[in-house]
Every structure is written in structure tokens, then in C-alpha cells.
Amino acid sequence: MAKQSKKAFIGIDLGGTNIQAGILGADGQLAVRGSLKTKADGGTDTVIARIRKLVERLILDGGLKPEAIGGLGIGAPGAIDPHTGMVLNAPNLRWTRFPLGKTLEKNVQMPVVVDNDVNAGAWGEYLAGAGRGFDNMLAVFVGTGIGGGLVLNGKLYYGHYHSAGEIGHTTLDANGVLGRRTLENLASRTNIANLLRQLIEANHPSVVSEMTGGDLSKIRSKVLAGAIRRKDPLTLRVVEDAAGYLGVAIANVVTLLSLPCVVVGGGVTEALGRSWVQQIRRTFEQHVFPAELSKCRVVASRLGDDAGIIGAALLAQAKLSE
Amino acid sequence: MAKQSKKAFIGIDLGGTNIQAGILGADGQLAVRGSLKTKADGGTDTVIARIRKLVERLILDGGLKPEAIGGLGIGAPGAIDPHTGMVLNAPNLRWTRFPLGKTLEKNVQMPVVVDNDVNAGAWGEYLAGAGRGFDNMLAVFVGTGIGGGLVLNGKLYYGHYHSAGEIGHTTLDANGVLGRRTLENLASRTNIANLLRQLIEANHPSVVSEMTGGDLSKIRSKVLAGAIRRKDPLTLRVVEDAAGYLGVAIANVVTLLSLPCVVVGGGVTEALGRSWVQQIRRTFEQHVFPAELSKCRVVASRLGDDAGIIGAALLAQAKLSE
């Protein structure tokens, strides 16, 4: 670990829809926080201008002098080269080979560190969240997709093509009736929602019909959470199945990497809460090898939505203080 | 990497049935080689005495002076603490918490480095075999069981409980009709042989009946290789299925860790050869993510049976030259 910095760092979580940002004070607390729509349709110039606008607003809101800020970290969705700050491919933003780090440095007049958004979230949970103190850990974020980040021996692990952590694309059901299925095909919000929709359309009763006003294309995490609060049997079954697949996939990673800690986050986890993580943990314990590894902590994210922002700021702090 | 040593190192591959050993010369070549039955039934004293006997014989055969030998590396089956040289649990030897490193040092009068046998094999393939030059790689050994070893960022990766690499215990078929099944349940020689036996007993024709003289408890790797040479349709099908599961499991690891190289070894691989590795590779390419990773080399072991010996000697060289 780099030595404690006396400066503040800006953290940005760049998504396809929203740019979320915050300033992490020298005390390790998120001092100010804000967001803007990404407007990715406008192209890279538009997005860069909006990031700059948001950064300027945060600095103003925080009452910080430029010299008090050590730099900016940004997590972007997709394939990133963390060494050059290049976004290799980001389908959500429709960017290919865009030099995000260099472009942003010119625009915000401070050093910039770029990483994958999921890696930033994993780093945040490792240094300031539920993974604190565990030098080997996996963070899994369950939302419209399923992403993962690995900290091994106290460092983010990137692998040869910088693509490490893709637990969502591991195969869990090599013999599926409908062909092989990956974790993402089985347990992402997209697939939970699709399965619920199909079951409801096949006349399985569910409060979700009423909750969505019959528009089953709108099954978001909040709807799932509401249906579970109302103990809707169909939703409970579909969500428990998804938790089971997550438990198996996490057990596979822990078995392979002998990990003492797994942090589960993302929109679905935030919405479904503790009981969902407990379901994941139950299946995990049945599958992990050797038995000793059932002691591995499988816990909910502590930073929630802020993991990406805090992690990006902490990545900048670590890399710029090296 | 440690600097090139001018000394020779002894490498030992300790198995439940045989002790295999060799001396790796200062030129990096295996100078002498030998083996003895383990006789694990005799307990730790017997096994230690036999290792000592074999080591003395090798030194004599090699015409080496004691001062020309830098130390001894030994790979043992089971859970090992590589830092203390303690065998935590080795079911094949019926050992629990046996201080192999310290005991052996007293008996052979030289420094001893202990590791898991699969890790030793992986390290051998990394430094002197098919994985040479790839600082991130997986080695998978398919025999009566399926073991794996990981080199990450140029070092053996152990994980929190020193158990990393257990690809054989990852689940591939979470929804199996007969319950969930791990890679080892699907593709080890034990399971290939069991499945063949069951199919033959259910009257599927196969040359294996004749080759084993009707004793279907004796389906070893050589029988499988012979049946494949004779293009036995049943054996071809069972073996191709196993290769498919290996391809999926390897794709999962490469997807998770973004690896550029996977080395496949072990008794089954030695017996079945290149076409078996090609079958594994085909399924691997269909499952790995992102597509860029289909460039990952999935290749047969180059050191074959010597991987464990050479790897153990190289581990001793690396650790004792630090």
C-alpha cells in the first residue's frame, strides 16, 4: 500500500447512463458527491465536457483549492488498458480505442488514473469497504450484467489482456437443455426479469403483474425488492434460483483461488439485501472445496453505490502516490 | 526470477505409490533419474528412509560431490504449507501435519523446499516446459484425479489457505440430473473408466471388453489409448465428452484470470496425446470470453512425467537462491 496521502482525490464512476462523482477527502471520507447524465449519444467530446463540468462543480461545492487535489481516478465500463488509460472497447458508451486518460488530463488539468469500473468498485471494497484487510478477494457486482474484480496479494489482478474477473461469463451449466449457460445468463437482473416475465406470461400468478401495471418490460430491481417484501412466491423462487447460481459460481472462484473473502454488490444486491446474500452463501458453502474454505466470508458490499467512486479515488491515490 | 545457479538441484515427486526423483544439473538438464516404491503403509519413517536411499543412489549415479548440490525440492500430494514445509494433510500417504521439510533436511543433510506436487509440475512447465515465457498460466494434470497449478505474475499463486488451483473441484453442471458435478466427476480417468464400464455392462459394444480380458475394473490410461488407436466408437465418445468438460472448465479459468497459456498434462494426456488436447482446445474456444482470449495457447505438457521432478528441483533452485 502507498503511504497515506494528505491530498483529496476525485473519483468518477462513468456509466452508460450516468456519471457519478465524488471527492474523497484526506480523511478518507466522501466529502462531496454529485452526478450528471452521461449523454453518450453525443460522442466523446460531449461526455468529456460533462465530466469536466461535474468535476468543476464538485471542486466548487467542496470549497477546495486546486493544490489540495492530488488527482482524479475514473472507472469506465468495458475493456480498459490501465497502464495507458486507453478505453479499448466500451459498448455501453460506443467507444473504441479512446484515450480517456490523456484526453481527460488536458481537460481537468490534473493527473488522471483510468481503470475498469468493476475493478474500481472491487478496489474500493478492498480498501474501504467489506473486503478491508483481505489481501485476496473477489468482488461481484450483480446488475443488468454481472461483473467481477479480483484483488490478489494486495493488488488488483488484471491478467494478460486486462480482462480478468469476468465471473459473469463463466459457464455453470455445460449441459443446459437450451445450450450452455453462463452465470450472467442465469443470475443477472436482465435474466431474472426475463424469466419472471416469461413465467407470468405463461399464467403463473405474481404481484409483479400488478406492480408493473402489466408492463412486464419494466421489472427493475425495485420491483423485485417490492415483490419480495410482499412475499410473492414466484419472485422468491426465481430470485432464490439466481442466488443459487451465484453461490456455485462464487464457490468455483474461491476453490480455484483459495480466497478468504468475497464481497457481493451491485443494484440487485442493494435492492434485495441481506437475505439474498445469505441465500448465495448457503449454496456457496455446499459447493466450495476444500471444506476449510467454507469459512470464507461471503458478505454484502459496504460501500453500495459509492464503491465505484470511492474505489476510483483510491486507485488514483495509490497510483499517484507510488 | 532468481539468478541462474551454478549448482545442481535434486527434484522429487512423491506419490502414493512411487517416489520419482532426478538431479537437475547446473546446465538445466535432468542428469540422472530414478524411482522407488513409496511403501506409504510403513508410515513416515519408512517413506523418509526410502527417499534418503533414493537420493543417495542418485548422487552416487551422478558422480556428484555433496558441495555441488544446492538443495532438494520435493512435491508431495495433498495440502502443503510451502512456507514451513509442513504436509498438512495427504490422504494418499495417510499423513496429517507431518513436518516433511524439517525431517528430510535432517536425513539428507541439505536444504529442502516442499510444495504441493501439482504446483511443482506447474512450475516445471512454466520455467522449462510448454508454459515457458508466460508469466500468467494454468497447468492442469488429468490422471485418477484432476489437479491444477497457477502461475500469476511470474510466481506460483497459493491463495489464503495454500489450496489454490483446484480446478478439478469446480462445478460444471450445477443442474445435473444426478446432482451437481465437478470437473473431476466428469473428466478424470476414474470417471472416464467408470462411465465406460457402465456403458459396456449395459451392453454397448467396445474393444475394451476384450482388451481388459473382461475385467472392467482395469481400465487404465494405456487401455484407453489402445482403444482409441483402434478407433473404438464407445471410447472415442466417452473421451471426447471428457475433453469437452475440460475445455469448458479451462475456459472458465482463462475467462476469470485472463490467461495467455494453459498447459495440459497428466497420465491421461500422456496416453491420449495430441488429438485429445485438440478436442479440449475446440470446446475451450467456444466458451472463453472475451473472444480475444481464444488466442490463449492450450497446449500439451512438454515435460510429461518429468514435470514434477524438474519443477521440484527448480522450486528449490528459485527459493534457495533468493
For residue range B127-141, list pLDDT tens digits in order: 999 999 999 999 999
From residue B111, alpha-carbon distances to A56, A66, B71, B303 in Å are 62, 57, 5, 25
pLDDT at A173: 83
- Where residue A1 falls among pLDDT bands split at 50, 70, 90? very low
Spatial contact of A153 and A147, defined as CB atoms under 8 Å apart:
no
Is the per-residue pLDDT at B2 higher than 90?
no
Label residues B148-166 b or e (16+ Cβ within 10 Å = b): bbbbbeeebbbbbbbbbbb
Distance CA A260, CA A257 (A): 9
In this structure, which amino acid lies at residue B10?
I
| pLDDT 10s digits, B181-239 | 899 999 999 999 999 999 999 999 999 999 999 899 989 999 999 999 999 999 999 99
A147 touches chain B (CB under 8 A): no
Mean per-residue pLDDT, B113-125: 98
State how far residue B24 is from chain A, nearest Cα, in angstroms.
30
CB burial of residue B294 (10 Å; 0-12, 13-18, 19+): middle
pLDDT at B218: 82
State how far residue A82 is from chain B, nearest Cα, in angstroms.
14
Which candidate from A161, A170, A260 shows the least CB-CB separation from B256?
A170
- Where residue B66 falls among pLDDT bands split at 50, 70, 90? confident
Give B-chain residues touching A171 at CB under 8 angstroms: 172, 248, 251-252, 287
Is the per-residue pLDDT at A204 higher than 90?
yes
pLDDT at A86: 97
- Where residue B303 falls among pLDDT bands split at 50, 70, 90? very high
Give B-chain residues touching A255 at CB under 8 angstroms: 166, 169-170
Q: How many CB pairs under 8 A join A and B?
A: 126
Record: contact A161-B293, CB cut-off 8 A: yes
Q: How many CA atoms lie within 13 A of B150 on its CB side?
A: 25
Task: List all residues 6 or more positions away from B237 whose beta carbon is below 8 Å from its beta carbon.
Answer: none
| pLDDT 10s digits, B20-53 | 999 999 899 999 999 999 999 999 999 999 999 9
- Can you give the pTM of this predicted structure? 0.95
B155 → chain A, closest CA residue: A153
Beta pairing class for B112-116 and B69-76: parallel
User: In B13-171, which residue ranges form alpha helices assigned H by DSSP?
Assistant: 43-62, 100-108, 117-128
Mean per-residue pLDDT, B96-121: 98
- Where residue A172 falls among pLDDT bands split at 50, 70, 90? very high
pLDDT at A180: 73
Is the per-residue pLDDT at A2 higher than 50?
no
Spatial contact of A158 and A120, defined as CB atoms under 8 Å apart:
no
Residues of chain A numbered 281-300 and touching chain B (CB < 8 Å): 287, 289-290, 292-293
User: In A63-214, which residue ranges form alpha helices assigned H by DSSP?
Assistant: 100-108, 117-128, 183-187, 189-201, 207-211
Of B214 and A29, more confident: A29
CB burial of residue B304 (10 Å; 0-12, 13-18, 19+): middle
Is the per-residue pLDDT at A100 higher than 50?
yes
Backbone angles phi, psi at A127, to 5 degrees: -90, -30
Distance CA B283, CA A116 (A): 28
Give B-chain residues touching A180 at CB under 8 angstroms: 248, 287
Is the per-residue pLDDT at B165 higher than 90?
yes
Distance CA B321, CA A309 (A): 44
pLDDT at A322: 72
Record: contact B289-A169, CB cut-off 8 A: yes
A119 touches chain B (CB under 8 A): no
A79 → chain B, closest CA residue: B290
Spatial contact of B200 and B206, defined as CB atoms under 8 Å apart:
yes
B136 touches chain A (CB under 8 A): yes
Inter-axis angle of helices A100-108 and A43-62, to 10 degrees? 50
Is the per-residue pLDDT at A4 higher than 70?
no
pLDDT at B50: 98
Task: List all residues 6 or more positions away from B198 whose beta carbon is below 8 Å from its beta carbon.
Answer: none
3-state secondary structure of A275: helix
The mean pLDDT of chain A is: 94
Distance CA A132, CA A125 (A): 7
Mean per-residue pLDDT, A140-152: 97
In this structure, which amino acid lies at residue A242?
A
Spatial contact of A73 and A313, defined as CB atoms under 8 Å apart:
yes
pLDDT at A178: 61
pLDDT at B322: 72
B174 touches chain A (CB under 8 A): yes
Residues of chain A numbered 244-283 and touching chain B (CB < 8 Å): 244-245, 248, 251-253, 255-260
pLDDT at B5: 52
Is the per-residue pLDDT at B123 higher than 70?
yes
Q: What is the ipTM of this complex?
A: 0.95
| pLDDT 10s digits, B310-322 | 999 999 999 998 7
| pLDDT 10s digits, B246-269 | 999 999 999 999 999 999 999 999
State how far residue B137 is from chain A, nearest Cα, in angstroms.
9
Residues of chain A numbered 180-239 and touching chain B (CB < 8 Å): 180, 182
From residue A153, alpha-carbon distances to A141, A157, B154, B155 in Å are 21, 9, 13, 11
B118 touches chain A (CB under 8 A): no
